[in-house]
Structure 1
């Protein structure tokens, strides 16, 4: 490739000239350091840094640490701020010392003899402010990127090398047809995207909190609105950032279309889960807090994600069910339209017990069990005459399936046991009789002994 995908010859030559100029400037700078007053200033700065290190390490930092340990009941934000200050004590002391020396030297001698000290003082102050302010960024990776980027930009600005650096980065370019992509454009795009995405994240977080606080919107529609808002804000931040730095979105659209076709074949399941998630949010068949059963999994929905649904079971396990399984599979939603759930308990009593009394005692015992609804009274019916018992079904209602189903059934069984014991109602078990008919004989056969 001539001009596509490789460095152009003219920009490469320009980059070579700029690098040669920077090398010459660096040599002149190093030669200037060897001059007496410049060497004195460097020695003074190194001495001040050593003094700041000793003062901070052996005096201020231990005293500040001991004082912070006595500050009980302080808000968390104040403690974090003091920890940040504690970690930057050495730089703070150095800034105070070097600015004091610069002020004294400007009063006592010519400004040229404190030029390097003033430059180092400005750099130290700028680096200190950047280090403190970037602590406000919560994401560690983003905080580090912003901090080192700001330090680099400030250093180049004070050294008056911004134009040369921009020219070098702009000369490192590759071309895709009519679109030219340089290192400078990539750097601008990264910075712009970081700023816009941070703003988009702030707006999305604030708007999501307001949406979730609106009780007039159903939980599933809240999740859908939040997802749409996040996609719209992040998408707008991405394309706006590229547009602001001058990237031609026409070529990018063609390239993204080709990539999208390839991803469509390789990520069919992922796309299917994304579409299924949108369908679940639109038809509101499930929502956060619903109690569902899917196969052997029983639990309540903890969160609706773009690709999966988080279900928490009674034993504390969290299952991540793909959205497609909830669309194509048979799902039992115990709290779809309301929270009322009817449960059935089967039991049997002996034929000698009065069935009218059994029904009355069973209903009273079930009604007195916690979580059983009184306004939907339990009912008890005979469902059959078994080999050893009269079989009954006891039906009752609850309205908190998230509290568990097995435990309430167990409590009802215990209540039936206690009530039957109190009223002399027996719970039979299968019995078999062996009758020897008249005229028949019994004979025993001894098993042969092993060889």
Structure 2
């Protein structure tokens, strides 16, 4: 390697360090000038007025905050978003009062005295108002870490804009950089990327939630298509926000082609199950085989569909357990959907009665007993029926068939209620339910001795 090529990186690093030192000196001189400016009489008065207004806002905010909190607790039946908005306002009552007080003082002083005597208060008023707006606006960001990054980044940027030192701060951040060949990553680019991507992703989140709510409120769209539409809207909006944010920063998107190829190889080898579940979830949504609210049986799991996810399906059972079943299992294994085309379910109960009981009477009593249970349907072809299925060793065997239209209410409990109604009806009508009786004899027991009656002796 030539000596000139070896000295180029060192010269560039030394030049960047010199620029950073020079900018630091300029900022220090600016700060020193600001301190000297604050020590002037009218400027000191303005600082004192600002501190007094902050203390006054703190004292006034205490009773108002308590009264507002009690008023919020008394609001029963409010939607969740309105309660959250109320809590956000409750936490910022002091800031709202300070903004009102300082702007009132600034307007009065601008009318009553020279504008220069209220300049610092005007700057403080602008800063406090901007900080308050940013504090309210960043509540739309769902992720706490991203919310804090966007909030403090916006506060710093607004403060620099109001103080008029944006160019100096930008130059200082841009001087702190790392070079990778033709690629130069500066601290200013990183900050800009975080803020722009945070704003774009927040807008995408808000718009996707609004679109999902509009889709779910449309009764003409099936539940499975509602879920599919909401998922597609989220993918398109978040993907578009990400690429638009990268383009706004100045990153060349053509360079992502290599990255996408590497991701494709990784998906092909290491993420087979994940991709399989994602594709299976898309197939489930498209063919409408399973939708939220359906009652399904998968192996020993019986419950209703709570939600459809990108990777799994949430199934809630009668005992309150929530199973997260991978979408691939619902595609590759046999699933019983009790409410796929309709919600009607037929249940069969088997029982037997003694041979001495009239079968015509038994069938009539069984149908009346099933009809007396609330959830059993009693119209058209869905009426309960009872048939003889055979003549057993100890009983005449029957099957009782009945229909329900609410499988989400459970199957075991309705079977138990019908069995209980059969028992009560058989007891009331004298119908007996036989059971096998056996005589047990030990092999080594002596045979019973037969005693002849008196008078028969020979």
TM category (shorter chain) comes to 0.7 to 0.9
Match of 2:315 among 306, 311, 331: 311
Moved more, 351-360 or 392-401: 351-360
5+ unaligned residues in a row in structure 1: which ranges? 2-6, 444-451
In the aligned structure 2, how far is the partner of 1:285 from the partner of 1:123?
Answer: 57
Tell me if the contact between 1:32 and 1:38 (Cα under 8 Å) persists in the aligned partners: no
Match of 1:448 in 2: none
In the aligned structure 2, how far is the partner of 1:87 from the partner of 1:272?
Answer: 53
Deviation sequence 1:48-100 (CA, Å, 0-9, x none): 34423442344x12332354367455974684475245232563376348636
Moved more, 147-156 or 205-214: 205-214
* 1:277 CA displacement: 0.6
* 1:419 CA displacement: 0.9
1:27 aligns with 2:28: yes
* 1:294 CA displacement: 0.7
C-alpha change, 1:334 and 1:136, in structure 2 (3 Å) is closer
In the aligned structure 2, how far is the partner of 1:311 from the partner of 1:413?
Answer: 28
In the aligned structure 2, how far is the partner of 1:88 from the partner of 1:361?
Answer: 76
Aligned partner of residue 298 in structure 1, secondary structure = strand
Aligned partner of residue 371 in structure 1, secondary structure = coil
Deviation sequence 1:216-253 (CA, Å, 0-9, x none): 33222222222122111211111122122221112222
Moved more, 267-276 or 219-228: 219-228
C-alpha change, 1:171 and 1:260, in structure 2 (3 Å) is farther
* 1:40 CA displacement: 3.9
Match of 1:236 among 237, 240, 243: 240
Match of 1:48 in 2: 49
* 1:426 CA displacement: 0.9
Tell me if the contact between 1:102 and 1:117 (Cα under 8 Å) persists in the aligned partners: no
1:83 aligns with 2:90: yes
User: Which runs of structure 2 are paired with 1:101-250 in the superposition (5 Å)?
Assistant: 103=110, 106-107=113-114, 111=116, 116=120, 118-135=122-139, 140-175=144-179, 178-250=182-254
Match of 1:63 in 2: 63
In the aligned structure 2, how far is the partner of 1:332 from the partner of 1:298?
Answer: 9
> Whose relative contact order is higher, 1 or 2, with alpha carbons under 8 Å and at least 6 apart?
1
* 1:312 CA displacement: 0.8
In the aligned structure 1, how far is the partner of 2:34 from the partner of 2:200?
Answer: 42
1:419 aligns with 2:425: yes
Tell me if the contact between 1:166 and 1:184 (Cα under 8 Å) persists in the aligned partners: yes
Give TM-score scaled by structure 2 length. 0.83
Tell me if the contact between 2:150 and 2:199 (Cα under 8 Å) persists in the aligned partners: no
C-alpha change, 1:87 and 1:348, in structure 2 (3 Å) is farther
Aligned partner of residue 39 in structure 2, secondary structure = helix
* 1:405 CA displacement: 0.4
In the aligned structure 2, how far is the partner of 1:23 from the partner of 1:40?
Answer: 29
Matched residue count: 434
1:396 aligns with 2:397: no
Tell me if the contact between 1:33 and 1:39 (Cα under 8 Å) persists in the aligned partners: no
Deviation sequence 1:271-317 (CA, Å, 0-9, x none): 11111111111222111111000111100001110000001111111
In the aligned structure 1, how far is the partner of 2:33 from the partner of 2:175?
Answer: 30
In the aligned structure 2, how far is the partner of 1:32 from the partner of 1:401?
Answer: 78
Deviation sequence 1:244-273 (CA, Å, 0-9, x none): 222111222212321442344222211111
CA RMSD of aligned residues (A): 3.4
In the aligned structure 1, how far is the partner of 2:434 from the partner of 2:211?
Answer: 63
In the aligned structure 1, how far is the partner of 2:334 from the partner of 2:422?
Answer: 34
User: Which runs of structure 2 are paired with 1:329-408 in the superposition (5 Å)?
Assistant: 329-374=333-378, 375=380, 376-408=382-414
C-alpha change, 1:137 and 1:126, in structure 2 (3 Å) is same
Tell me if the contact between 1:52 and 1:90 (Cα under 8 Å) persists in the aligned partners: no
Tell me if the contact between 1:179 and 1:248 (Cα under 8 Å) persists in the aligned partners: no
Give TM-score scaled by structure 1 length. 0.84
Tell me if the contact between 1:105 and 1:114 (Cα under 8 Å) persists in the aligned partners: no
